[in-house]
Amino acid sequence: MQNSAAEFIGEVLCDRYQIQQQLGKKTGRRTFLAIDLQTSQQVVIKLLIFNSEFIWDDLKLFEREAETLKHLDLPAIPHYLDYFEFDLPTLKGFALVQTYIDAPSLEEAVSTGRRFTQSELKELTLALLNILDYLHSLQPPVIHRDLKPSNILIANRSGNSIGDVYLVDFGSVQNVAAKDGGTMTVVGTYGYMPMEQFGGKTVPASDLYSLGATLIYTISGVHPADLPQEDGTIGLPANGLSQGWQRWLKMAIEPSLKKRFPNVQTAKSALERLDEIHSISREKPYGSKIVLTKSAETIDIIIPDRRFPIGWGIAIVLSMFILPIPVTIISMIVMSLSQYYLPFALVSQLFSWSPVVYNLAYYFFGKLHLRIDRNSISADKMLGKFRLKQTPIADRSNIDTLRYYLTPQVRQKNKTSPPTKEIVILAGVREYRLYSNSEAECEWLLAELSEYLNLPISRSTS
């Protein structure tokens, strides 16, 4: 038999907490505002009641919530106050007491017409990322699993700030120790849960998906479950979002874990540089022969490689002193056996100079071809249409660094060494390098790659 809210009003639990009004209700659980008769302070008391709705999995989650809150210490999270079992004539169960935060939820604010500017949206996102950073950095990491607008409170709004942001309701919380201890309980809210959570699997990136879905509701006023989807991806509302915000949200709500922000640090880094991309030159420099082709799925970059693949000293030694010896011996053998010794002699002598010819051919016709798609990154050295060398392919999800090396000119006694410019993309232990003699070309390529990969630019000058 279910209990009505009226049955609880006025009840005093543990000879201390007098229930005033109901704040929320879930299957098997009730949340009330109460007065602590010892301190006269308002508190929140959550009840797990033994009635027809009770299931043992709820008790496991309830105890986990109490144990988790007991060890959390962050102003943006309610503080644990008490946990006890109660046994009244008509009510039996467990109670969790925590501090009360007198503030409307994000859902209430949006549903009553409040809208956020993009700067306010960024402030809200950064505040929530800082909370998640704290939770995910604990040992073991704590995963909220039910981040949504109704579980986010905003208080003390001022003219220049959205106010204080709080994350509440840890009833679905999970930590790594709990996950590794046995069976999984699927919890969360449809529309705000990533696909892996439906399968009972949650990782820190699962909370980032919920954050992205929450921001979509904040922007549109529509719950994600009610928005159109394509291949499991929530459609972004057309609300005048900048391209930077669209890219950030798309990566946050990626159905695939490999393509989503892997952790809070990566998401924060991308958030903090939303506007940075617009301060970098995005125009292809005049006269550049680099070919860049970009779509939502792929970026292709073909760069004329104005370098010599073999050092000139080595090439000359090979051509003048090393290769002529075997070439001469083979030529003499062939000439003694064939009447076409003259053409062969000419060809063989040309082969002796192949290192020099190769250097010149690559300098004028050699190219670097970098390709990144949704799944992988690859780089090839090409001579015309022929592939000379291929860097091993790596997974796109392993790309974690975009670095720009600029070594300035060095003046010596009789000469000045030219500056060297190099773009390096790191994917785990593999490196993918692009070169250009033009700093303007490098800045342009950096901007395009940074935008496509959602990575900040790390600069190094030596």
pLDDT, mean over the chain: 83
Query: Position of tokens 């505040």?
Result: 127
> What are the start-end ranges of the H helices in 232-340?
243-252, 264-272, 312-317, 324-337
Could you give the count of Cα atoms lying within 13 Å of 103 in the half-sphere of its Cβ?
25
| Structural domains of the chain, ranges and CATH numbers in brackets | 5-99 (3.30.200.20), 106-274 (1.10.510.10), 277-462 (no CATH)
**How is residue 223 written in tokens?**
């719950």
Question: Which of 125-134, 277-286, 393-402 is the least confident region?
Answer: 277-286
Cβ neighbours of residue 360 under 8 Å, at least 6 residues apart? none
Give the span between the Cα atoms of 132 and 176, in whole angstroms. 15
Task: Report phi then psi at 49, rounded to 5.
Answer: -105, 140
Identify the band that residue 82 occupies on the pLDDT scale cut at 50, 70 and 90.
very high
pLDDT of 171 strictly over 70? yes
Contact 382, 317 (CB under 8 A): no
Each residue of 221-233: pLDDT tens digit?
Answer: 999 999 888 878 8
Would you state the pLDDT for residue 350? 67
Of 458 and 223, the structure prediction assigns the larger pLDDT to 223
pLDDT of 181 strictly over 50? no
**How is residue 199 written in tokens?**
């399968």
Identify the band that residue 275 occupies on the pLDDT scale cut at 50, 70 and 90.
low
Burial (CB count <10 Å: 0-12, 13-18, 19+), residue 108: middle
Would you state the pLDDT for residue 180? 46
Would you state the pLDDT for residue 347? 62
Strands 399-407 and 457-461: parallel
Query: Position of tokens 């700067």?
Result: 119
Query: Position of tokens 């670097």?
Result: 368
Each residue of 305-348: pLDDT tens digit?
Answer: 877 767 667 767 777 777 777 767 776 666 666 655 556 556 66
155-169, 186-200, 298-312, 446-460: which has the highest mean pLDDT? 155-169
Query: Position of tokens 């972004």?
Result: 236
Give the span between the Cα atoms of 106 and 253, in whole angstroms. 19
Would you state the pLDDT for residue 238? 66
Contact 144, 170 (CB under 8 A): yes
Of 259 and 45, the structure prediction assigns the larger pLDDT to 45
Model pTM score:
0.67
> What's the rounded mean pLDDT across residues 191-206?
88
Task: Report phi then psi at 72, rounded to 5.
Answer: -95, 140
Each residue of 236-261: pLDDT tens digit?
Answer: 876 778 777 888 898 899 998 888 88
Identify the band that residue 74 occupies on the pLDDT scale cut at 50, 70 and 90.
very high
Helix (H, G, I), strand (E, B) or coil at 10: coil
Report the chain's C-alpha Rg in angstroms.
32
Q: What's the distance, Cα to Cα, between the start and end of the chain in Å?
A: 74
Task: Report phi then psi at 62, rounded to 5.
Answer: -65, -45
